[in-house]
Amino acid sequence: MQFPISFTDRMQRLLGSDYHHFMKALQHAPPISIRLNPAKTNARPNISKVPWAEYGYYLPERPSFTLDPLLHAGTYYVQEASSMFLEQALKQVVNLEQPLQVLDLCGAPGGKSTHLASLISSDSLQVSNEVIRSRASVLAENVAKWGSGNVLVTSNDPRDFGRLSDFFDVMVVDAPCSGEGMFRKDPQAVNEWSDESVNLCAQRQQRILMDVWDALKPGGILIYSTCTWNEQENEENIAWLAEQEQAESLKLTLQPEWGVKPSQLKGIEGYRFYPHQVQGEGFFVAIVRKAGAAEEAASHGKKKKYKLTLAGKKEQALVQDWLNNPEQFAWIQHGDIISAIPAHLFEAADKVFQNLYVIYAGTEIAEVKGKKLKPLQGLALSQHLNKAAFETAELDLEQALRYLRKEDINLGIEGNDWLLLQYKNTPLGWAKQVGNRMNNYYTKEWRIRMELPQELPLFDLLNS
């Protein structure tokens, strides 16, 4: 693979004697890694672990993930190992046991958002944002599959977050970048790279940081990352932000065996991931704390006007047994859709709804159809689902894949009720029995589009 001369010259200056090892590593295939959803599996595979992530694992080879129903069920997420270092940044500088309001600003397709959802407490509210609407839909899909229930997915420009002044305790900005760390994974990234694109990315990253800065509480934490190596998009940008806003650079403790390379520039502590030193792709992360201390929100005696509308008592009575601990949820209705969000997060969630465009909230429970309710996919994949409230049917691998392709399947049973379909005791979605026929209610936009091979692979990723 041929790389631009200005890129190789710069990397040679950055790496010195390590440069040839770096270039050699770029000629090899990237490692394959997954991160388990601890709320959906207690499996601990006997394979290599990602050392900085509790539930991260390396696979010996890349399987056909599309043909594993457990991926579609949100039991694990296919995520590049270096980006899982977010876990260390959070655990070392944030008290994750306390209630937090967290923003993942550039969230699609969902790797960091689902990771955040597993790290923060159930008392916390997470906002996962993606400005590009089509990518925001993918983000919402992956958030729904993860099923944590305390995440709002928004689709807004970074400048819109200025309306939420001093709102977030933690912000994660995985900024759009020139993509140098993706060169061996995506040859197209090499063709699109130029010195001009680096300059443009650096300027855009500065705009993004300034657009969202006011939404971070005084004393709040910003975790900034890119998948690139040049200093212009990394240390120099954070040094610029720190100088503009008197932000404090925070230092992490590294284990030598991780191979993560610390960097320092203009008082900024950064952490770099090079493919010849870590088992992962190119990555950079830095953490800063906003000046000042968070203040308690003043409580005004005025009656508040809410944008969110609670579902009627009749509708709530019909759905409340569908979740475990239903008394802990606020049941909201928007149009024909009933959703559940943790009750103690109602006011914070309402403030997000008042200021941003929300495309998915908490857990989508049901669609109101006249006097009847249709259970929705978000409910089937929720970590809070009360399976005892529904009839269930276990599918084998072929049946599960045909269901996920939205094909009709025949289980040889009869009835006239909703069925929760499962694979390896893990919910996949809904079907409706009508006599001896079964109607497939899997979400059309999520369906598997590839043709099934004649011989299906035997998946056992989680029991290796």
Q: Which sequence spans correspond to the domains of the chain?
A: 84-289, 303-387
Please report the pLDDT score of residue 437 as a whole number: 86
The CA angle 160-164-170, to the nearest 5 degrees, is 105
- pLDDT at 300 exceeding the cut of 60: no
- pLDDT at 106 exceeding the cut of 70: yes
Between strands 391-395 and 363-369, the pairing is unpaired
Please report the pLDDT score of residue 414 as a whole number: 83
Write out pLDDT tens, residues 157-182.
999 999 999 999 999 999 999 999 99
CA 286/CA 454 separation, integer angstroms? 48
Note the CATH architecture for domain 303-387: Roll (3.10)
pTM of the model: 0.96
Please report the pLDDT score of residue 266 as a whole number: 94
Percent of the residues in the chain that have a pLDDT greater than 90, as a whole number = 89
Please report the pLDDT score of residue 464 as a whole number: 59
Written as six digits, the tokens of 109 are 């397709």
Find residue 439's DSSP bridge partners. Answer: 432
Written as six digits, the tokens of 368 are 């109101």
328-349 mean pLDDT: 96
Written as six digits, the tokens of 148 are 């944590």
Classified as helix, coil or strand, 250 is: strand
CA atoms within 13 A of residue 310's CA, in its CB half-sphere: 13
CA 177/CA 405 separation, integer angstroms? 35
Between strands 261-265 and 248-250, the pairing is unpaired
Q: Do domains 84-289 and 303-387 have the same CATH topology?
A: no
Write out pLDDT tens, residues 346-404.
999 999 999 999 999 999 999 998 888 999 999 999 999 999 999 999 999 999 999 99
The CA angle 41-57-108, to the nearest 5 degrees, is 80
- pLDDT at 299 exceeding the cut of 70: no
Tell me yes or no: is domain 84-289 CATH 3.30.465.10: no
CA 428/CA 423 separation, integer angstroms? 7
Catalytic residues: 227
CB count in 10 Å sphere of residue 192: 10
48-65 mean pLDDT: 96
